[in-house]
A and B are shown apart, each in its own frame.
Chain A
Amino acid sequence: GAGVSQTPSNKVTEKGKYVELRCDPISGHTALYWYRQSLGQGPEFLIYFQGTGAADDSGLPNDRFFAVRPEGSVSTLKIQRTERGDSAVYLCASSLRSSAQETQYFGPGTRLLVL
């Protein structure tokens, strides 16, 4: 079946602009996660949704970052007033439910470049 998809695959924007990154999880997966991967590093947790609600947003770096999942499926990560330091690959993952035993399936990522 279809895996996790993310759009766009690449996004170039200018400093100060607003961007939205979209994630379509695997159908039926109730848990959805956003991670950020900087060059040469492992992914770092940003936020996790169980259903429609953000169950843990402790990884969001500051209030310029926000994410929603209004219908419990597709999620959008929103970044306001982008800065060059926001340049990274943003990864989305989903799992059937939130549990340490569940496998998280990752999307291909959105590569964001802030000029």
Chain B
Amino acid sequence: GDSVTQMEGPVTLSEEAFLTINCTYTATGYPSLFWYVQYPGEGLQLLLKATKADDKGSNKGFEATYRKETTSFHLEKGSVQVSDSAVYFCALISRRTGNQFYFGTGTSLTVIP
């Protein structure tokens, strides 16, 4: 079945450090891929998405590229800020069903000044 595996946390970085959170997926066909973020005390928010191979999603300095050959969608940011501290979830939706997300277990990021 469809599934997402993402890097386990927690991850602690100093401000302005480079961030990578790995995400790989298993899916029938070519899914749409997403990164959601959950800030402390808040609900899930869409961070970025990519709907086909080689697409790059980007938002707020974060980027992720849909790599079909490696079935990956790694999240990157060149210089993290304290305000980026949150839990990050990688997710996919199957094109076949188009109705339910499969989420990873989440990666907690803490950025220290």
- Tell me if chain B binds chain A: yes
> How would residues 91 to 107 of chain A score, 1 for a CB under 8 Å from any chain B CB and 0 otherwise?
10100001111111111
Report B-chain residues with C-beta under 8 Å of the C-beta of A41: 105-106
New contact pairs (5) apart from A91-B43, A100-B93, CB-CB < 8 Å: A42-B105, A43-B103, A101-B32, A104-B46, A109-B43
Known interface pairs A41-B105, A100-B93, A100-B94; A31-B44 also in contact (CB < 8 Å)? no
The contact of B101 among A35, A40, A56, A99, by CB within 8 Å, is A35
Is A20 an interface position by the 8 A CB rule?
Answer: no
Report A-chain residues with C-beta under 8 Å of the C-beta of B95: 100
**How many residues on chain B are close to A (CB under 8 Å)?**
26
Report A-chain residues with C-beta under 8 Å of the C-beta of B46: 103-105
Interface set of B (CB-CB < 8 Å, partner A) = 4, 31-32, 36, 42-46, 49, 51, 89, 91, 93-95, 97-106
Instruction: Provide the bound-state CA to CA distance between A100 and B49, in Å.
Output: 11
Report yes or no: A103 in contact with B99, Cβ–Cβ below 8 A.
Answer: no
Interface set of A (CB-CB < 8 Å, partner B) = 31, 33, 35, 40-45, 48, 50, 55-56, 59, 91, 93, 98-109
Report yes or no: A45 in contact with B32, Cβ–Cβ below 8 A.
Answer: no
Task: State the Cβ distance, B35 to closest chain A Cβ, in Å.
Answer: 12
Report yes or no: A56 in contact with B100, Cβ–Cβ below 8 A.
Answer: yes
Report B-chain residues with C-beta under 8 Å of the C-beta of A102: 98
Instruction: Provide the bound-state CA to CA distance between A48 and B36, in Å.
Output: 19
Report B-chain residues with C-beta under 8 Å of the C-beta of A101: 32, 51
Task: State the Cβ distance, B67 to closest chain A Cβ, in Å.
Answer: 18
Closest 3 A-B residue pairs measured CB to CB? A42-B103, A45-B100, A106-B44
The contact of A108 among B32, B42, B94, B100, by CB within 8 Å, is B42
